[in-house]
Chains A and B, each alone.
Chain A
């Protein structure tokens, strides 16, 4: 990550991006990015006969909720898959390095997931009789791009952390629901106990959900979500940098990356 602006860095990242797309497991992408959000949209809208929740908030909340699943299972597993395939040491020892490979693959994985998720929630919302309408498309698109940029470092962080534990799959399973619960994504923050509400402020996905819902409803978004989203992304990026350094240390100095 020290050579962020050099041309070879970008070339390696672009090659990793292409490789990730070529080797994508479409069925696995469909589970997390299409079936899961469609299920949550369908069951929540069907049960929402009292109108307790805003249908657009349910649809977009389900999309963001699945973005978290995709962050864990797709972006987060990028390095784990290299380890399972036995290609991680080779990547670490190449001049291109691990940084651009991780970034390129995580961006490819996240891009694909976001596209499939948006398609899935739009279709399932329409089939459930609540077609998604976006009153402020420019604000919506800007929020989506900023949210992508702010959440990607979270994927990089998770990818590095999952490399440092043998129980990555089980940890990923356990991490899903805390964010579902305290993120304020489908369940309104008002439904949470007072002590749990501030936790959502540290989640970029929460602010993304707020911005997307406001844009869909035609409400002008306040300054707080627009500022909080990049700040949380920056914090994730710093944490990812530290975790990445730890991974490289294990790979190159301790040589223990594959034997713990």
Chain B
């Protein structure tokens, strides 16, 4: 397939995925359940941050919680893009198209990344309100690229989990486990320690460096530090994306040998 044909095909796949998303999450559900859940999650974590760390703790937790909304959308819900096709028995059709499966999944994933990004950005005014600080809002033009970057890195992580989950009947467990792993080790509630097992785990998980960059911006750190943290976040995301693509290739190879999509 020529690249001039590929891009319109991927755009169409993305549009159809958005329509499918709106069937699964119609406006009533989006406004009545998805958005309130995302904002209340931020309220809970911000208040917990205040209880353990005072006003500074509330701000740190609020910024982390706003970014964690991206994970809820891309790590828990996003993998359905791949898993639902396995459940419906239509995954083989996707494998047979000329469009590379990874690109097709990425195009269909955009809507979940968009949900994560939008809920994260909508949480920022809530954090400002709860902490009585205006800087999360005034810093938004400079932190917006960081949220965008985290939407990409968390999506890469979610896709890698989806690849593992698609061959097993453990998708609910794996996606939720991945989400709690990020909550526990990515410094969502408070900054990670500089060394030890938590720091090590956080170093390879998505959004941990992104959250650190958000907090650095809020503390007025120099642009060099923020850029270094953002570059590290991008590197982590690239690693997960490569792992996901490699996993998809291994699955395709094994599928051709065994002829069975359930043994991948």
Q: List A residues at the B interface (Cβ < 8 Å).
A: 27-28, 30-31, 35-36, 39, 42-44, 46-50, 52-53, 167, 170-171, 173-174, 176-178, 180-181, 186-188, 191-192
Inter-subunit contact A187/B48 (CB<8 Å) = yes
B239 proximity list for chain A (CB < 8 A): none
Q: CB-nearest residue of chain A relative to B168?
A: A27
Inter-subunit contact B54/A50 (CB<8 Å) = yes
Question: C-beta contact mask, B175-194 vs A, less than 8 Å → 1, else 0?
Answer: 01100100110001110000
Inter-subunit contact B44/A35 (CB<8 Å) = no
**Does B220 touch A at the CB level, under 8 Å?**
no
Supplied contacts A180-B40, A187-B44, 12 more A-B pairs, CB within 8 Å: A27-B170, A27-B172, A31-B173, A31-B180, A43-B184, A43-B188, A46-B189, A49-B53, A50-B52, A52-B54, A174-B37, A188-B51
Given A52-B51, A173-B33, A173-B37, A181 and B44 contact (CB-CB distance below 8 Å) = yes
B47 proximity list for chain A (CB < 8 A): 181, 187, 191-192
Q: How long is the Cα–Cα vector from A48 to B51 in the complex, in angstroms? A: 8
Inter-subunit contact A44/B189 (CB<8 Å) = yes
**Does B198 touch A at the CB level, under 8 Å?**
yes
Chain A facing B: main interface SS:
helix
Q: How long is the Cα–Cα vector from A43 to B184 in the complex, in angstroms? A: 6
Q: CB-nearest residue of chain A relative to B61?
A: A47
Q: How long is the Cα–Cα vector from A176 to B33 in the complex, in angstroms? A: 11
Inter-subunit contact A170/B53 (CB<8 Å) = no
18 A–B pairs (Cβ distance < 8 Å), ordered by A: A28-B172, A31-B180, A36-B180, A39-B183, A43-B183, A43-B184, A46-B190, A46-B198, A47-B61, A50-B53, A167-B28, A170-B34, A173-B33, A174-B40, A177-B40, A177-B44, A178-B40, A192-B47
Inter-subunit contact B184/A47 (CB<8 Å) = no
**Does B127 touch A at the CB level, under 8 Å?**
no
Inter-subunit contact B33/A170 (CB<8 Å) = yes
A171 proximity list for chain B (CB < 8 A): 33
Q: How long is the Cα–Cα vector from A146 to B184 in the complex, in angstroms? A: 32
The 8 Å CB contact of B32, one of A50, A174, A178, A188, is A174
- Min Cβ gap A125→B in Å is 14
**Does B41 touch A at the CB level, under 8 Å?**
yes
B54 proximity list for chain A (CB < 8 A): 50, 52
Inter-subunit contact B183/A47 (CB<8 Å) = no
Q: How long is the Cα–Cα vector from A31 to B172 in the complex, in angstroms? A: 8
Inter-subunit contact A167/B29 (CB<8 Å) = yes
Question: C-beta contact mask, B140-181 vs A, less than 8 Å → 1, else 0?
Answer: 000000000000000000000000000000101100110010
Inter-subunit contact A174/B36 (CB<8 Å) = yes
Residue of A30, A44, A188 most packed against chain B (CB within 10 A): A44
Q: CB-nearest residue of chain A relative to B50?
A: A191
B44 proximity list for chain A (CB < 8 A): 177, 180-181, 187
B61 proximity list for chain A (CB < 8 A): 47
Q: How long is the Cα–Cα vector from A42 to B187 in the complex, in angstroms? A: 11
